[in-house]
Amino acid sequence: MRRQSVPDNFLMAEAVTLLCFSLLFFCSHALVSPGSSNSTIDELALLAFKSMLSSPSNGLLASWNTSSHYCSWPGVVCSRRQPERVVSLLMGSFNLSGRISPSLGNLSFVKKLDLHGNRFVGQIPPELGQLRRLQVLNLSTNTLHGSIPAAMGGWTNLTTLDLSNNLLQGEIPNEVGTLKNLVDLRLHKNDLSGKIPLSLTDSLSIEYLSLRDNRLSGEIPVALVNLTSLRHLDLANNLLSGAIPSALGRLSSLSVFNLGYNNLTGLIPTSLWNISSLTAFAVQQNMLSGAIPSFAFSALPHLQTIAMDDNEFHGYIPTSLANASDVSFFQLSYNRFSGIVPLEVGRLRKLNWLQISNNLLQAKEPEDWELVSALKNCSRLKLLDLGANKFKGLLPDSLSNLSNSLTFLSISVNEISGSIPEDIVTIGNLTKMNYLDFDSNTFSGRIPSTLGNMTNLLALGLSDNNFAGRIPIEIFNIQTLSGILELSNNNLEGPIPLEIGNLKNLVEFRAYSNKLSGEIPTTIGECLLLQNLYLQNNMLTGAIPSSLSQLKGLENLDLSSNNLSGQIPEFLGNISMLYYLNLSFNSFVGEVPSFGVFANASGVSIEGNGKLCGGIPDLHLDPCSLKLPKKNHKLLVVPIVSSLVATMAILLSLYMLLTRRKRSKTKNPSETFIQGHPLISYNELVRATDGFSDANLLGSGSFGSVYKGELDDQAAQSTNLVAVKVLKLHTPGALKSFIAECEALRNMRHRNLVKIVTACASIDARGNDFKAIVYDFMPNGSLDGWLHPDTNEQTEERSLDLMERVSILLDVAYALQYLHCDGPAPVVHCDLKSSNVLLDANMVAHVGDFGLAKIIVEGSSSAQQSTSSLGFRGTIGYAAPEYGAGNVASTNGDIYSYGILVLEMVTGKRPTDSIFTQRTSLREYVAQAVHNRTSDVIDTRLYLRQNDELHDAGDALFERNIDGLISLLRLGLSCSEEVPSSRMPAEDIIKELLAIKEVIL
């Protein structure tokens, strides 16, 4: 049918009519609801922001819906002059997660945007650069990654920018120099690299600048002197090098000056001592040198913190220190200062911490330490460390004048002589003392009984002196003594007092190399938490008391070089934690047990006891045979026995020589593990976990249960979140798992390994063995929980985008590189899987659970002589196929497990998924599809997310991400090759992942 023609004038009239109606409707609507179009823009932007959150309907955003006006929504602040426009979005610590929506760039009236303290991931949207009115932007303490957007140049009104505590990388953009109104800039605790941009010095209004805890390199720009309003300068813990610019002394408003933990060299510019407003001056852990001038602190009346330790300063400590009368923290340890400590330090009435150990300092008059007298005016002094210097003479009587607030006193490793005064006023007045260290001096006389008045003492060190006489009973009445009692290398005599049993919580007792006599007191068995007992090189007699069987947490026992006799008690083999036992050079007789500690020849020493027999073959003792007939063959037996004795003597001598050399080169595993980790008791863990309550239970495995806990940090006056792994000792292999994990972790330090805080080997409230390992708490749980969330739990849905998955895989690869190549000794993890990869608050991955770990013997590529005696167990699906054939653990086995982990990360399927049968594995499932059906095996959540987020941005970007996914699948296949030698090493994996990351970016 043909269309009828319509006159042009009619069409024109109709168009005009429609236009008039439209204008009338718009005007009338505007009169009813002023600014409604702007209202719609802001509301839509907020709803779009909500839509990109992981659980938008939970928590504080539950009311964000059209049933109420958006200006009443939590966190939203609207303008008074223009009531429909959002001027602030204040959502700090709202427990939000997800990605920051680019739609926030449409809130064109926003002045404050605060999203700190949440769990946002992804990159900072460059669209935020459209917020021309923005004055405050706080995105700190999230898990944002990528680079700082160059679009920040649009924030011309910005006064505060806080992006700290994230995972941001790359260089600080030069556009920071365009922020002419910037006052507060905080970029600390990220992974930023490159140099400090010179353009930064164009932001002349900056008062607070914190760039610490990054990887910034190069020299400190001299142009920082242009920031004349700067009050806070913190560049600590970077890779900065070169000299400190002397021009910085012109920053007359500077209060905090922190350049510690860098690679700075040269002298401290004298110009810095002209900044009279300084309250904190920290340059510790650099390579600075030279002398601190005598006028250094003369013009610093407000100085509160001085930290200059671990450099190469020499000369004298300046007397002008007294002018900095507000100093509370003073630390000059580990330098080369000589001379005397200026008495002016006594004028520092607010002094709380004085640590000047490990220098060449001395007292002005050896007979009277005027320094100690001067410190009597420091009524707030809690820590005084004068250790490892050149102090001589007698212990001054003025020690009694020190503040009764003192809790830590160390004068160890000096040349102090004479006796410790018996006068109760001198020593006993220090009633709040927790740590007293007089080790390694030349004290003589008796140990004063008045030490018993220090009823708050936790640790006491009196070793390596010339003390004589008996050990005062009063020391053993200090029931708080729970750390270490160190009395070794003196001339103490007499018996060990029976009162030692009063120290129920004592962890370590050292009294070796004295002249102690008598029997080992039976009451020592009442020290139920004792872990280390060293009594060697004394004159002790009698048998080992049976009460030692009560010390179920005992790890090290050395009774060598005494006059002990009788049989070696079998109960020592039943103490499950006993790793090191030295009974050599005594008069023990009879059969040596062959179980427990006695089953490990490297953990037990019995040489010098001529009448022992039996034991394991590695001890090379005669068998405990039946009595020989008295008649017949008498003449034949004598020469045979004589020959055998001579032969055995020669072999025993050779063995003693070899084992002694070996022992001198290696420390006892338990002893070295304890070093550097604070001791912790069972009771402390009970308090930390609220009695191991179910509410704090994080999970349970075959060897142990893990609890969340809060440990008190007395030094920082705060609490730390920890994860406490309590071993199920009734499970076969649990104890060996504990030993293997301690052995593997004791010397390892890496960003991508779970940090061990300490271990506890004790007994519980029922007297049963108790073993636990304490780790840093990982708030984001395991990788397994993110890849395979429990649908039955009422928790917010969690998912990882592609870049997050690549970053996690890169973290794990860095951990493997360290374990296999860069650590103290090559370690094979043996049980790498998604549940053993833990994520911290910043979504950084940490490899944990070393219960099956094996340390590779030097010169070998496998762990044939691992320190762990566990047979390989691993986890089905992740374990390398060669392990099933009985092959020893090797680094190639870890790479296979890593390859399966990569495939699991991309496919979202466990290797034990029900879709896989005996004929089909996860690897085969991927191998069959990687060439032409890749989309069929990619994790559905990940694929849809890629499609939704990237397809609209352009086909090229979408294709690059698909290419990255394919590359990851191929990487997983390459790492999980059946032939071990075909698998790529961790170093090559890292290179491949970095290339994939570059493609995606």
Could you list the active site residues? 831
Copy the structure tokens of residue 275: 């900044």
Residue 239 to residue 249: CA distance in whole angstroms:
22
Q: Residue 566 is inside which H or E element, if any?
A: strand 563-567
> What is the SS3 assignment for 725?
strand
Copy the structure tokens of residue 989: 């994996």
β-bridge partners, 215: 193
Residue 325 to residue 302: CA distance in whole angstroms:
7
From 573, 625, 626, select the one nearest 600 (Cα to Cα). Answer: 573
| Sequence-ordered list of residues with C-beta below 8 angstroms from that of 14, at least 6 positions apart, any chain | none
- Kindly report the backbone phi and psi dihedral angles of residue 12, in degrees, each rounded to the nearest multiple of 5, phi listed first: -65, -40
Q: Tell me, what amino acid is at 951?
A: H
Count of alpha carbons within 13 angstroms of residue 51, beta-carbon side: 11
- Please list the alpha-helical segments (H only) found in 221-341: none
Copy the structure tokens of residue 293: 């001038």
Copy the structure tokens of residue 137: 């932007």
From 516, 476, 511, 471, select the one nearest 493 (Cα to Cα). Answer: 516
On whether the CB atoms of residues 818 and 748 are closer than 8 A, the answer is: yes
Sheet holding 704-713, edge to edge: 697-700, 704-713, 718-727, 769-776, 756-763
On whether the CB atoms of residues 193 and 170 are closer than 8 A, the answer is: yes
| Sequence-ordered list of residues with C-beta below 8 angstroms from that of 362, at least 6 positions apart, any chain | 338, 339, 340, 389, 390, 391, 392
On whether the CB atoms of residues 726 and 707 are closer than 8 A, the answer is: yes
From 854, 864, 931, 921, select the one nearest 894 (Cα to Cα). Answer: 854
From 336, 391, 398, select the one nearest 363 (Cα to Cα). Answer: 391
Copy the structure tokens of residue 769: 């063995």
Residue 907 to residue 896: CA distance in whole angstroms:
17
On whether the CB atoms of residues 180 and 199 are closer than 8 A, the answer is: no
| Sequence-ordered list of residues with C-beta below 8 angstroms from that of 45, at least 6 positions apart, any chain | 86, 101, 103, 104, 106, 107
Instruction: Tell me the Ramachandran region of residue 237: left when phi exceeds 0, alpha when psi lies from -120 to 50, beta otherwise.
Output: left
Tell me, what DSSP letter sits at residue 380? Answer: T
Q: What is the 3-state secondary structure (H, E, C) of 952-972?
A: HHCHHHHHHHHHHHHHHHHHH
From 174, 126, 133, 170, select the one nearest 151 (Cα to Cα). Answer: 126
Q: Residue 466 is inside which H or E element, if any?
A: strand 466-469
Residue 929 to residue 936: CA distance in whole angstroms:
7
